[in-house]
């Protein structure tokens, strides 16, 4: 099982700042991840929440299961030590994914509190970053 976890505002893909995030919808992202997982022969559980406590519970579950995680924590990436601490409990691979290149954006987006506990980071490749993360985990 690989968890693909998405944080705040990712449910607004396709309508939220399409000049930054593209016109791909959240459902398109889900469909792509499911298709990639099928091709790789793995099971994925794809979730999105705007509630920080819910994300923490999902990360705890993944930690308890020893599962791998692809995480786009959205804005929580830059300030949520609670999400970072939950990520630090993971025993499987953690790939931090960002659709946009956060380093080309506002200064506050340049720092991630999660990167220090992540196996790797993929940023700026659109939703293709999710495919790359899933492929890396399956190698």
Q: Read off the CATH number of the domain in which 18 is found.
A: 3.40.50.9100
pLDDT range class, residue 15, cuts 50, 70, 90: confident
Q: Which of 26, 53, 79, 98 is catalytic?
A: 98
Q: Which residue has the higher pLDDT, 100 or 9?
A: 9
Interior/surface letters 102-135, b for 16+ CB within 10 angstroms, e for the rest: beeeeeebeebbbeebbeebbbebebebbbbbbe
Catalytic (active site) residue 21: yes
* Host H or E run for residue 132: helix 128-138
Q: Name the residue range of residue 87's domain.
A: 2-138
Rounded CA-CA distance 100/67 in Å is 26
Q: Which of 3, 21, 26, 130 is catalytic?
A: 21
Catalytic (active site) residue 110: no
pTM of the model: 0.93
Determine how many CB atoms are found less than 10 A away from the CB of residue 16. Answer: 12
Number of independent structural domains in the chain = 1
Two tokens at 23? Answer: 């016109």
* Residue 72 annotated as lining a ligand binding site: yes
pLDDT at residue 56, rounded to an integer: 98
pLDDT per position as a tens digit, 28-69: 999 999 999 999 999 999 999 999 999 999 999 999 999 999
pLDDT at residue 69, rounded to an integer: 98
Q: Is the pLDDT of residue 94 over 90?
A: yes
Rounded CA-CA distance 34/124 in Å is 21
């Amino acid at each position: 099982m690989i968890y693909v976890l998405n944080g705040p505002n990712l449910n607004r893909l396709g309508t939220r700042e399409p000049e930054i995030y593209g016109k791909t919808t959240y459902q398109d992202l889900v469909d792509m991840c499911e298709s990639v997982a099928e091709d790789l022969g793995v099971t994925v559980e794809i979730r999105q929440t705007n509630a920080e406590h819910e994300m923490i519970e999902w990360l705890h579950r993944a930690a308890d299961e020893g599962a791998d995680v692809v995480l786009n924590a959205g804005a929580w990436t830059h300030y949520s030590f609670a999400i970072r601490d939950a990520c630090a409990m993971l025993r499987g691979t953690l790939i931090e994914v960002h659709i946009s290149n956060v380093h080309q954006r506002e200064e506050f987006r340049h720092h991630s509190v999660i990167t220090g506990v992540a196996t790797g980071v993929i940023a700026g490749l659109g939703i293709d970053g999710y495919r790359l993360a899933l492929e890396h985990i399956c190698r």
